[in-house]
Amino acid sequence: MTVDANLGGSAETVSASELAEIGLRYEVDGAIATITLDRPDKRNAQTFATWSALARIGENLPDQVRIVVVRGEGPSFSAGIDLRMFTPEGVPGQGSFVSAASLEDSAFERRIADAQRGFLWLRRPDIVSIAAVQGHAIGAGFQLALACDLRVVADDVKFCMKEPALGLVPDLTGTKPLVDLVGLSRAIELCLTARVVAADEAVRLGLAELAVPPGELAQAVRDLTGALLATDRGAATATKRLLQGALGRTLDQQAVAERREQIARIRTLFGSS
Ligand code: ACO
């Protein structure tokens, strides 16, 4: 089934044709939502409109969705930000960073925060997001993959945090998951050299859960999705919430959090009322 991003029909609705214009597809099939970056001729380069549409998809995700797959059509997952955003002309209707440079700080910050909203919802505890990544995942492409809980990659994957090489910082929420996954030293090395990380290293560093031949990527994601869906939703949500909080807590605090989540689980499973 293909659906509009908002089933309720509010001002947030993003239609399939609007998505197509932006270069996105969005499909919901039962518990699985699939978002496809669909501008393969431009290597799925991303614009403000891409991020705004992603945010609206997240805000209007149907309740039954438990898994969100983010994938890219064509040879590359995403070649990052649309480079027209760095030209004075920008992307038609969306402006550019050249014009944004003269914004007041607060307005500029709001603009970046709006873009980040497209990425942040992918960490919601009640869903599991999976990036299926083949070919290039550069800059914003790498950050979109990092925004997901899990990454399944094709053997030809090429991750690259290119922003510092362009005089910028990665600001689409990618720096924290990168540090969480690979550690501070490796994150500094990867970002400040803007070097490419291929599949075997990505798996070794924990950037990807598994690497498969390109022709097997879709099946690998289906297999993982099936295994994730076999787990009770309430338990999966509570466990993800617990794991997400673990890095920010002491052992004692985590033990308290475990107790609280477990009491809620046991009451749900066995409580009389
Ligand atoms: N923005 C806009 N258009 C792009 C982008 C991009 N980021 N990347 C590729 N394209 C376009 C190319 O201009 C080309 O268009 P054309 O056919 O009209 O000439 C088309 O996509 C195909 O690109 P090629 O370079 O021919 O494809 P190839 O497979 O050989 O190379 C690669 C792919 C390596 C990704 C290359 O396109 C590239 O280096 N792109 C730029 C990557 C980049 O610097 N991204 C910004 C990172 S920083 C950030 O995201 C904040």
* Per-residue pLDDT band at 10 (split at 50, 70, 90): very low
Q: Which atom of ligand 1 is nearest to the CA of 83?
A: 1
Nearest to 142 by CA among 84, 104, 182: 182
Q: Which of 66-70, 94-98, 154-158 has the lowest mean pLDDT?
A: 94-98
Using a pLDDT cut of 90, give the percent of the chain over it: 91
Nearest alpha carbon, ligand 1 atom 14? 42
Tens-place pLDDT, residues 254-269: 999 999 999 999 999 9
Residue 42 C-alpha to ligand 1 middle, in angstroms? Answer: 6
Tens-place pLDDT, residues 239-257: 999 999 999 999 999 999 9
Contact predicate 120/22, CB 8 Å: no
pTM: 0.95
Q: Which atom of ligand 1 is nearest to the CA of 168?
A: 51
Residue 68 C-alpha to ligand 1 middle, in angstroms? Answer: 26
Residue 41 C-alpha to ligand 1 middle, in angstroms? Answer: 9
Look at phi and psi of residue 171 and say left if phi exceeds 0, alpha if psi is from -120 to 50, else beta: alpha
Contact predicate 37/44, CB 8 Å: yes
Q: Which atom of ligand 1 is nearest to the CA of 136?
A: 35
Q: Give residue 13's pLDDT.
A: 65
ipTM of predicted assembly, 2 dp: 0.98
Cα–Cα distance for residue pair 261/192, rounded to 1 Å = 40
Q: Give residue 2's pLDDT.
A: 39
Cα–Cα distance for residue pair 235/243, rounded to 1 Å = 12
Give CA angle at 32 (265, 221), nearest 5°. Answer: 100
Place of tokens 């614009």: 47
Q: Given a cut of 50, is residue 38 above it in pLDDT?
A: yes
CA 212 vs CA 134, 136, 203, 207, 218: distances in Å: 10, 15, 11, 14, 10
Nearest alpha carbon, ligand 1 atom 30? 43
Q: Give residue 272's pLDDT.
A: 75
Residue 101 C-alpha to ligand 1 middle, in angstroms? Answer: 23
Nearest alpha carbon, ligand 1 atom 27? 43
Residue 67 C-alpha to ligand 1 middle, in angstroms? Answer: 29
Best residue for ligand 1 mutational test, from 43, 84, 112, 178 (most atoms within 8 Å of Cβ) = 43
Residues with CB under 6 A from ligand 1: 42-43, 45, 75-76, 79-83, 136, 138-140, 162-163, 166
Q: Which atom of ligand 1 is nearest to the CA of 138?
A: 47
Rounded mean pLDDT, 126-153: 98
Q: Which atom of ligand 1 is nearest to the CA of 140?
A: 50
Q: For residue 201, give every residue at least 6 positions away whose Cβ sits within 8 Å of its Cβ, in sequence order, or none.
A: 207
Q: Which atom of ligand 1 is nearest to the CA of 75?
A: 29
Average of per-residue pLDDT values in the chain: 94
Q: Give residue 8's pLDDT.
A: 34
